[in-house]
Amino acid sequence: MDQRMKIGEVADRVGLSLRTIRFYEEAGLVTPDARSAGGFRLYTDAAVERLKLIRTMKPLDFTVEEISDVLNSLDTVTSARTTPAERREASEHLAAVCDLIDERVPRLLERAERGRELGRMLRGFRDQPEE
C-alpha cells in the first residue's frame, strides 16, 4: 500500500502551494485518497505524480479543462477496464496533445530568452556608476 501524506508534505514534494493543490482538488484534477481521523487530506504517491504532471503542463498554457482531458485520457489508457476503442481514442488524444506541446515549447523558450534579455538590460542599469 502507498504511503499516505498530508497536503503539506505533498506540497513540499511537488513544489506547489497548499492553495494551488486545493484549487486543483476543487477543479477535479486530483482528489485525496482518504481523510485522516482528524479530517486531514491524505494523498498517495499516485496523486503526487498526478500533481507533478499538472505542474509541468501549466507553463505550457494548458487550461484546467485541457489538463483534465489529458488526465482522463491517461486514466483511460492505463485502466484495465478500458475497451480497445476507448484506449485508441484516448491514445489519439494524447498524440494530439504531444503535437500541441511541440508547438508550444518553442514559444516558451522564446519567452524565456526574452526574460533573460530583460534581466541583462536591467542589470546594466543597476550596475551604472553613481554620479
Q: What is the pLDDT of residues 33-69, one digit of tens each?
A: 888 888 888 999 999 999 999 999 999 999 999 999 9
CA torsion angle 16 22 28 32 (round to 10): 90
pLDDT tens readout for residues 2-38: 689 999 999 999 999 999 999 999 999 999 988 888 8
Q: Between helices 84-126 and 64-78, what is the axis angle to 10°?
A: 140
- The structural domains of the chain, ordered by start, are 1-59 (1.10.1660.10), 61-131 (no CATH)
pTM score: 0.82
C-alpha to C-alpha distance for 114 and 118, rounded to whole angstroms: 6
C-alpha to C-alpha distance for 51 and 35, rounded to whole angstroms: 18
What is the pLDDT at residue 2?
A: 61
Tell me how far CA of residue 81 lies from CA of 76, 77, 90, in angstroms. 8, 10, 13
C-alpha to C-alpha distance for 30 and 23, rounded to whole angstroms: 9
Q: Binning pLDDT at 50, 70 and 90, where does residue 1 land?
A: low
**Residue 12 one-letter amino acid:** D
Give, for 74, the enclosing helix (H) or strand (E). helix 64-78
